[in-house]
Amino acid sequence: MLSLDALIREAEIAHGHLCAGQVLGVRLAMLGLAKLGVEDPRGKDRKRLVTFVEIDRCATDAIGVVTGCRLGKRALKFRDWGKMAATFVDLESGKAIRVAAKESSKKLASEMHPELENKNQQQMLAYREMKDDDLFSTQWVKVELPPEEFPGYKAERIVCAECGEGINFRREVEREGRVLCRACAGEKYYEVL
Ligand SMILES: [Zn+2]
Ligand SMILES: [Zn+2]
């Protein structure tokens, strides 16, 4: 595993700027991987890990950098819960750990560095220095991963009976005897103009 500083530098480049979220995300992912004993997530351990992220903010990018888990490899799963937390699943051992940033860490950051006026600067520095226990809570969890959730899962593509578009990974739904995509089944997030 690279050092904290090296990973923060990589996260900064991938994310486009350095911010408190990068420091927090790097530390969150490093802690999760350390607890699992995954040492080389982007090298020899690269097929061992699936990561669930619960927020789509700055830290999410950093978690992707440290773990090497990407949406396009199906190793990064997004649950839009608005929480600064992620769960790291070790496919080899079946163990999983959820790491969540403590709400109290922001206040602690301002107490640690009252000399800095800018909140982002304050947190960027404090999140480097803070003890794991002050920054995060962790819990061992069990994550059920059906075969279609694994990276590299292959199956026949289904075609939606309504719109004719292809559907991967068992995302189809059955409505009144017809096999539909989620959009045609009523879960559209868009309206066709
Ligand atoms: Zn950012
Ligand atoms: Zn459809």
Q: What is the pLDDT of residue 1?
A: 84
Distance 192 CA to ligand 2 centre (A): 13
Arithmetic mean of pLDDT over the chain? 95
pLDDT band at 32 (very low <50, low <70, confident <90, very high): very high
Nearest C-alpha neighbor of 30 from the set 108, 117, 130: 130
Q: How far is it, in rounded angstroms, from Cα 10 to Cα 22?
A: 10
Q: What is the pLDDT of residue 38?
A: 96
Q: What is the pLDDT of residue 4?
A: 96
In this model, does residue 75 exceed pLDDT 90? yes
Cβ–Cβ under 8 Å, residues 52 and 87? yes
pLDDT band at 162 (very low <50, low <70, confident <90, very high): very high
Distance 144 CA to ligand 1 centre (A): 31
Mean pLDDT of 35-43: 95
In this model, does residue 89 exceed pLDDT 90? yes
In the chain, % helix, strand, coil (3-state, to 5) comes to: 40, 20, 45
Distance 27 CA to ligand 1 centre (A): 15
DSSP class of 189: S
Mean pLDDT of 78-100: 97
Nearest C-alpha neighbor of 103 from the set 134, 58, 128: 134
- Ligand lying closest to the C-alpha of residue 178: 2
Distance 170 CA to ligand 2 centre (A): 14
In this model, does residue 156 exceed pLDDT 90? no
In this model, does residue 154 exceed pLDDT 90? no
Using DSSP's 3-state secondary structure scheme, residue 175 falls into strand
Distance 171 CA to ligand 2 centre (A): 11
CA angle 54, 2, 14 (to 5 degrees): 55
Mean pLDDT of 131-147: 96
Mean pLDDT of 111-134: 95
Which pTM was predicted? 0.93
Q: How far is it, in rounded angstroms, from Cα 101 to Cα 168?
A: 34
Mean pLDDT of 154-170: 93
